[in-house]
């Protein structure tokens, strides 16, 4: 027997946290009956579980993917507005989902997997996995601007954690954060009077985008995954 949220996560649908949201939204069924409680146990040998009307099964082979996401693609697994989705770029037999998110206008390093436990750990705030971005901006980058970003700025009533910030050209900043608030880097720049015109993530933990071409992906070895932590 296995808890329902863990079963969903280990089926390559999403992380445990997202699985709990599916249950809350009444989008999960066991043997044709809608589930209303989080702590239900599943008998993986005979129960039939479906999420949003689609039957799921436990993953046979864990997969970890590094994608150079192009602009114009969303990271959601379920796309309601017919926008291009990063999942469309992945040509593998195993079903995977994006870990975290990059907004539609941002390009760069995105990790995908069918390992819900790994995704949950990677996104958990306690791990403080560093993410590095290159932001091209309009506005004047001053020493005070950089000092403010390093210290932390207010975005939507939340003060960001200290960041590592380096000016790499007259209109570009390299910003390293370990949080994952929605559109965080863009909002941080806006808070100090800068407008981001192009944003690219180049590194997550010790995984670097390198020369991976835009729109292309590669499989990550399990030992590389372990080194993230």
Please list the active-site residues: 103
Q: Cα separation of 4 and 33, whole Å?
A: 13
Q: Which of 169, 152, 168 is nearest to 160 (CA)?
A: 152
Q: Cα separation of 124 and 41, whole Å?
A: 24
Please provide the DSSP assignment of 165-198 as one string: EEEEETTEEEEEES---TTHHHHHHHHTT-EEEE
Q: What are the tokens at 122?
A: 């990677």
Q: What are the tokens at 171?
A: 């209109």
Where b means 16+ CB within 10 Å and e means fewer, 208-221 reads ebeeeeeeebeebe
Q: What are the tokens at 132?
A: 């590095």
């Amino acid at each position: 027997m296995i808890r329902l949220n863990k079963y969903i996560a280990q089926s390559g649908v999403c992380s445990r946290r997202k699985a709990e949201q599916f249950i809350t939204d009444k989008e999960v069924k066991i043997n044709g009956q809608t589930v209303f409680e989080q702590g239900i146990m599943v008998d993986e040998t005979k129960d039939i579980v479906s999420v949003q009307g689609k039957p799921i099964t436990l993953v046979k082979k864990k997969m970890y993917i590094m994608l150079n996401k192009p602009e114009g693609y969303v990271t959601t697994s379920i796309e309601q507005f017919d926008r291009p989705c990063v999942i469309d770029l992945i040509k593998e037999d195993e079903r995977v989902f994006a870990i975290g998110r990059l907004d539609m206008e941002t390009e760069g390093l995105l990790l995908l997997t069918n390992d819900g436990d790994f995704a949950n750990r990677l996104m958990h705030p306690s791990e403080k996995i560093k993410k590095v971005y290159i932001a091209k901006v309009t506005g004047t980058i001053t020493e005070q601007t950089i000092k403010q970003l390093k210290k932390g700025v207010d975005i939507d009533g939340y003060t960001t954690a200290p960041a590592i910030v380096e000016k790499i050209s007259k209109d570009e900043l390299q910003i390293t954060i370990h949080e994952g608030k929605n559109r965080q880097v863009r909002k941080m720049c806006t808070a100090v009077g800068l407008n981001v015109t192009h944003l690219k993530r180049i590194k997550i933990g010790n995984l670097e985008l390198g020369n991976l071409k835009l729109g292309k992906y590669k499989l990550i070895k399990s030992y590389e995954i372990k080194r993230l932590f």
